[in-house]
C-alpha cells in the first residue's frame, strides 16, 4: 500500500462533515494563507518544533540529540542541522519537543479509522481527508478514500481547490462529500493573503460543482481581509450559481493559531485582528441565505 505523510488524525471530529468523523490531516499545502490555523501542515516534510510553555529547561533533549541541538538552536532556523530523528521527542519528559508529520501506510490510517466505525454508523459520520492540502498527496488520499468506501464508510475531502483540475477530479470521484474552502473573490487580494491568485481555484470550483452533487463551501470570515460587503456578496453570488453546492458554512476568525506559528518560529501577521461580532456574522449569514443557500456557522480552521 502507498505511504504518505500525516501530521494528525483527529478522532470524534464534528466540524468536518456530517456526524462523528475521523479527520486525517495530510502534510503539505500549496497556499500560504496568513491566517492559517494549521501552519504545521504547510510544509510537506516533517518538522521538529518546541512547545515553549511545556519546556522546563532540563537539557535532556540536548544531551540525547546526536548534534546536541538545544530548543533555542531548533527555533533559530528551519534549516538547522536537525535530522528529524525524533530522539529528542522520545526523551522529553514534558512533551515539549515534537516531530510534526510521520509516514503512514494506508492500512495504518485505515486501522485508526475503523476503530471508530460504530460511531460513524450511529451518527451518519465517516472519514474526512484534510490538510494541509490533500491534492498534494493525491494518490495517497485516493487510496485512503477507496479503502474507506470498500468498508462502507462515508468519505469527505476538505480542499482549497488549488491544483490541476485532473487531480481534483480524480480525488473528488472517490469522495461522497467535498468541503471546498472559498477564501476571497478578488484575485489580487487572494494572491496577497494566500500566495496565489484564485483563478485556478474558482475555475476548479465551477467544474467540480458541475460533476459532483455534494459540495459544501467553507468561508473563513476574517475582519479586514474578506468581510467587506463586496467580497461577501461576490462569494454569495458565486455560490448560488453552482449546481452542486448544497450549503455554506461561515467560519468566524479567531486567534488560536498564534501559538502554532510561534512554535514554528514564525511571526503571525493577524495577531491584532478581532473575532467577528455576532451581529457581523448574522449579516453575513443573511447575505448567503438571500442568495438561496443553506447556511450555518462553524469552527474556524
- Please say if the pLDDT value at position 79 is more than 80: no
pLDDT band per the 50, 70, 90 thresholds, residue 76:
low
For residue 2, the Cα-to-chain-centroid distance in whole angstroms is: 21
Specify the pairing of strand 294-297 against strand 47-50.
unpaired
Question: pLDDT tens-digit profile of 42-64?
Answer: 999 998 888 888 999 999 999 99
Q: What is the DSSP string of the chain?
A: --EEEEEEEEEEE-SSSSSSEEEEEES--S---TT-S-GGGTSSS-EEEE-GGG-----HHHHHSTT---HHHHHH-TTSS-----HHHHH-SSS-EEEE-EEEEHHHHHHHHHTTHHHHHHHT-EEEEEES-GGGGHHHHHHHHHHHHHTT-EEEEEE---S-HHHHHHHHTT-SEEEEE---S-HHHHHHHHSS-SHHHHHHHHHHHHH-S-EEEEEEE-TTTT-SHHHHHHHHHHHHT-TTEEEEEEEE--STTHHHHHHTT---TTTTPPPPPHHHHHHHHHHHHHTT-EEEE----
Distance, CA of 274 to CA of 277 (rounded, Å): 9
Question: pLDDT tens-digit profile of 178-234?
Answer: 999 999 999 999 999 999 999 999 999 999 999 999 999 999 999 999 999 999 999
113-136 mean pLDDT: 97
Percent of the chain with pLDDT over 90: 81
Please give the grid coordinates belonging to residue 266. 514564525
For 18, residues 6+ apart whose C-beta sits below 8 A from its C-beta are 123, 124, 125, 126, 154, 177
Specify the pairing of strand 215-221 against strand 102-105.
unpaired
Mark 64-78 as b/e (b = at least 16 C-beta within 10 Å).
bbeeebbbebbbeee
Question: pLDDT tens-digit profile of 227-283?
Answer: 999 999 999 999 999 998 989 999 999 887 888 888 887 889 898 899 999 999 999
For 167, residues 6+ apart whose C-beta sits below 8 A from its C-beta are 135, 138
Q: How many CB atoms lie within 10 A of CB 282?
A: 11
Query: Which phi and psi angles does 142 have, rounded to 5°?
Result: -60, -45
Distance, CA of 163 to CA of 136 (rounded, Å): 8
Largest CA distance in the chain: 62
pLDDT top residue among 32 and 258: 32
Domains of the chain: 3-43+102-297 (3.20.20.70), 47-100 (3.30.70.20)
- Please say if the pLDDT value at position 83 is more than 70: yes
Amino acid at each position: 500500500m502507498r505511504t504518505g505523510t500525516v501530521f494528525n488524525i483527529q478522532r470524534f471530529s464534528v466540524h468536518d462533515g456530517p456526524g462523528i468523523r475521523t479527520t486525517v490531516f495530510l502534510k503539505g499545502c500549496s497556499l500560504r494563507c496568513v491566517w492559517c490555523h494549521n501552519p504545521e501542515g504547510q510544509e510537506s516534510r516533517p518538522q521538529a518544533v518546541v512547545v515553549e510553555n511545556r519546556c522546563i529547561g532540563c537539557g535532556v533533549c540536548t544531551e540525547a540529540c546526536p548534534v546536541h541541538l538545544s530548543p533555542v538552536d531548533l527555533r533559530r532556523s528551519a534549516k538547522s542541522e536537525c535530522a528529524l530523528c525524533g530522539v529528542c521527542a522520545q526523551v522529553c519528559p514534558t512533551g515539549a519537543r515534537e516531530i510534526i508529520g510521520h509516514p503512514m501506510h494506508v492500512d495504518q490510517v485505515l486501522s485508526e479509522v475503523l476503530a471508530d466505525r460504530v460511531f460513524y454508523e450511529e451518527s451518519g459520520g465517516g472519514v474526512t481527508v484534510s490538510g494541509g492540502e490533500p491534492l498534494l498527496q493525491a494518490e495517497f488520499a485516493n487510496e485512503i478514500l477507496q479503502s474507506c468506501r470498500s468498508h462502507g464508510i462515508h468519505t469527505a475531502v476538505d480542499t482549497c481547490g488549488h491544483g490541476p483540475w485532473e487531480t481534483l477530479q480524480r480525488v473528488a470521484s472517490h469522495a461522497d462529500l467535498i468541503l471546498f474552502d472559498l477564501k476571497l473573490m478578488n484575485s489580487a487580494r487572494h494572491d496577497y493573503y494566500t500566495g496565489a491568485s484564485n483563478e485556478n481555484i474558482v475555475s476548479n470550483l465551477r467544474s467540480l460543482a458541475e460533476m459532483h452533487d455534494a459540495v459544501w463551501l467553507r468561508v473563513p470570515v476574517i475582519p479586514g481581509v474578506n468581510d467587506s460587503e463586496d467580497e461577501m456578496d461576490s462569494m454569495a453570488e458565486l455560490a448560488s450559481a453552482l449546481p452542486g453546492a448544497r450549503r455554506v458554512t461561515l467560519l468566524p476568525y479567531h486567534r488560536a493559531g498564534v501559538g502554532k506559528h510561534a512554535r514554528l518560529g514564525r511571526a503571525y501577521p493577524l495577531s491584532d485582528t478581532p473575532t467577528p461580532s455576532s451581529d457581523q456574522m448574522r449579516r453575513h449569514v443573511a447575505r448567503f441565505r438571500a442568495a438561496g443557500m443553506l447556511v450555518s456557522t462553524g469552527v474556524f480552521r
